[in-house]
A and B are shown apart, each in its own frame.
Chain A
């Protein structure tokens, strides 16, 4: 059960701006963004965990005990030709979330939304840091990594979240599901990374925003 709370020395203001839906807002005060990033860093408690499994891409089965069969055509295609997968979970903890709420209650609407965006950025950065740690380990065994994919995107139903939480061993870092299958703490992710051998095929999906159907999302990358 590898626990890796990837270092998070700073939260990226550019990504925070994007998650806040401010990509085109050239005049928006950069100081407010920077403040949100600094406050986010102050409150974030970065944590991460991952597990490695064999994977059968024909049946879309993660060979955990008990096995986990992935539902969804797109995710199936994305993991085509992968014979191992990594299940991971990352979180920034509760404190940042509490402050987002407290700010809103105090009428600091914008600061609340910006802190929320910095928390989103932070959790992605933690997952990026984990990938950086995982990559050389996998490369040493001859494996390359597909980009990480989370349920709720494409046609991978969120109903499978319990299986991701289980196989990623997310509870080891305090991430669990609410009754309605939402991740708690809120700013947490679970994801899968397919491992493949070079030259055995590629994912037909477009990476990142391009693969998402939410075309009018304010954070969509051009």
Chain B
């Protein structure tokens, strides 16, 4: 058990555990925010696990999650737009801290990997992760309110 896996365990236990609690209880606006944060936090955990197990191929998992997590949140934002228009979710501080955690993890891994093609891949994953989650949380908090309600 090395430091990377320890960090991944901490992120999983504290971060993803909190989002599981958040998605299981409370009003709808809190649940959609927790669902968005669960992908934003599981992706850095997967990156840390890939480094901890010393398997660069596991980075593909984080890549797929960074791509599909925001897609899932956009599905909720689009199909629940009617329910969420009444009280839109506001979680700017939480979203920003999750994005900061993702960026910090990606930077630490970049330092550990050193200049190579793997670093470029990590940077692509980091950009997808942070950008996708900021986009998804903006869509949740009313960016899609003007969308057609079918």
A binds B: no
